[in-house]
Amino acid sequence: MKDLKVVVGDKKTAIPLFQECMGTLIPMPNAVLEGKLQCTPAELERIFAGKIAPYYRAIGRLMMQCIAATADDNSPEHSLKIAGSMVPMILRHKLFRGVDPVDESYPLENLLEHAFSLVGLHNMTRDKAFEYFGIDSRSYPDTKEAVKRIRVEVHEMWIKERSLAIGAFEEGLTLNGLADLSFCCGLVPLEAVSEIFFEEGKVALADLRQV
């Protein structure tokens, strides 16, 4: 899946759908798509809606089929688990449990590990995150407010900057909002969601080179 591309426009520009981050795939940032197509943000939204979004939605629907099959029969012979490399932990929280990085229900320690492991940084602490994002916690009267800034920065980094792709992916995964995964999985720990629906270490299909 890391080699999956969509050919767009008169110039036949090949647009990759996913970015590889430390062996995990994540939808492409808006700015990268904008740069590859050499267009304005408004033009990107139009092009994306017509040419690129359908593929993200299709992948999301395929994953929903896997979820439905696995939920119906979780035995090894019949379940269709999703490759763990296809959906990093930070997106599993967002897409399956309805938990965004800015939500306090996302434990900060877990958030930092999930966010920074994607760039090869582990054992990230709150103070190290302050330094990484250039946040002077002393300028905040309340430490909680400074921590909120970390959460906002992580949201910007992994969710907002990929809003077009993640939005289309979520439309497919939820069947345009008909299937509310957060209703089913929101109260279930992330570890359980991962155990039921994902197969860690499984390599995503690599033979789909180009759409």
List pLDDT tens digits, range 113-141.
999 999 999 999 999 999 999 999 999 98
Q: How confident is the model at residue 70 (pLDDT cuts 50, 70, 90)?
A: confident
Of the candidates 112, 142, 136, which has an alpha carbon nearest to the alpha carbon of residue 126?
Answer: 112
| Residue 204 Rama label (left phi>0; alpha psi -120 to 50; beta) | beta
* pTM of the predicted protein model: 0.87
List pLDDT tens digits, range 77-109.
667 889 999 999 999 999 999 999 999 999 999
What percentage of residues in the chain have a pLDDT greater than 90? 75
Domain ranges of the chain: 5-92+159-199, 101-157
